[in-house]
Amino acid sequence: MKKLLEEDLISDFSNIGISHGDTILVRASLGAVGRMEKKAETFINALLKTIGTDGTLISLAFTSGSFFRKPKKDDAFHLGKRSYAGALPNAMLNRDDSFRSKHPMCSFVAIGKNAEEIISGHNESSSSYEPVRKVLDLDGKCILVGCVGSSPGFTTTHLAEYDLGHSTKLPVFPWLYSTYYIDDSGKHKIFRRDDLGLCSNSFNKFYSIYVQNEILKANYIGNAYSVLVPAQKAYELENIELSKNKKFNVCKSKLCFMCNGGRWDRAYLLPLFVCRRLMKKYLYS
Ligand SMILES: [Zn+2]
């Protein structure tokens, strides 16, 4: 298979609808893109050249916390902590020209013209997905590269959940998710979530809505099937759908905690969920 070059990716990014000056929120599975020298660096450089010096690139640099258990101090969030969100955000974090927000579990990383503005003020006191609102304000776009099916949907949906009160009112005890973080004076402090993104396994249900409203563009970035939407329009459609039906994003998995007891409107399923998990652990393992 032919090695992909930076100019191949620049051409693909342009073909899917990314232009000079764009604000782009990207999630990507780089393994699906294809063979490249210095894969993450080539991918980032191609995106930055496509949007130019007036554009801004953003990704999710989320970090883990503890659920139920007491968090560990040596796993505290700090600006150098590695993200679990894959090679792309970690490569962005390693660059000297990147900026990272200080939210202890849902930090964002950004590079480019409006990077500092987008991450500013996002910290332990903010709602989890607040930088996405700035992407909307800048008329930004969201792209999924190579994870359209495996990690479906756009982060705008979590912002819509928050604005509708779903991520604060529906999760059962969101504060059970906690972590330490190191504050500006170097002290360890405990952070507990008070808003929680709901299950995203079924965010692919929104794809048909984007298509019906003619906002979804699809193409290949290298070998990776990819989709792009304008952030503001996607957010509006998600907000309308979730306000009509707050269970729209409930997934079908019987082993998903959030959809089988982790939210108050599905809490009646919790005893069944616990039985299923115990049976899986002791009878089928
Ligand atoms: Zn689920």
154 and 281 together in one domain: no
State mean pLDDT over 36-59: 97
**Dihedral of the CA atoms 37, 44, 27, 12 (nearest 10)?**
-80
Q: Are residues 99 and 210 in the same domain?
A: yes
Q: Identify whether residues 136 and 271 lie together within a single domain.
A: no
CA angle 164–55–85, rounded 5-degree value: 55
| One domain, residues 145 and 37 | yes
Asked if residue 1 belongs to a domain, the reply is no
Task: Tell how far the Cα of 256 is from the centroid of ligand 1, in angstroms.
Answer: 5
What are 256's two structure tokens? 């998903």
Distance CA 123, CA 251 (A): 30
Regarding whether 276 and 212 lie in a shared domain, the answer is no
Q: Are residues 148 and 55 in the same domain?
A: yes
The number of distinct structural domains making up the chain is 2
- How buried is residue 187: exposed, middle or buried, by Cβ count under 10 Å (0-12/13-18/19+)? exposed
Q: What is the rounded average pLDDT for all residues in the chain? A: 94
Percent of the chain, pLDDT > 90? 83
Same domain, 197 and 258: no
**pLDDT value at position 284?**
64
Q: How far is CA 95 from CA 49, 51, 53, in A?
A: 15, 17, 16
Q: pLDDT at position 58, please?
A: 98
Measured in Å, residue 244 CA sits from the centre of ligand 1 at 19
Segment 220-225 shows an average pLDDT of 97
- The pLDDT assigned to 129 comes to 97
Q: What is the mean predicted confidence (pLDDT) over 215-240?
A: 98
pLDDT at residue 41 tops 70: yes
The pLDDT of residue 1 is above 90: no
Shared domain for 162 and 281, answered yes or no, is: no
Name the phi and psi angles at 152, rounded to 5: -75, 155
Query: What is the CA(254)–ligand 1 centre distance, in A?
Result: 8
- Residue 219 located in a structural domain: yes
Distance 225 CA to ligand 1 centre (A): 24
Based on the domain organization, do 111 and 124 belong to the same domain?
yes
Would you say residue 282 has pLDDT above 80? no
Domain that holds residue 257: 252-285
- Taking residues 205-222, report their average pLDDT: 98
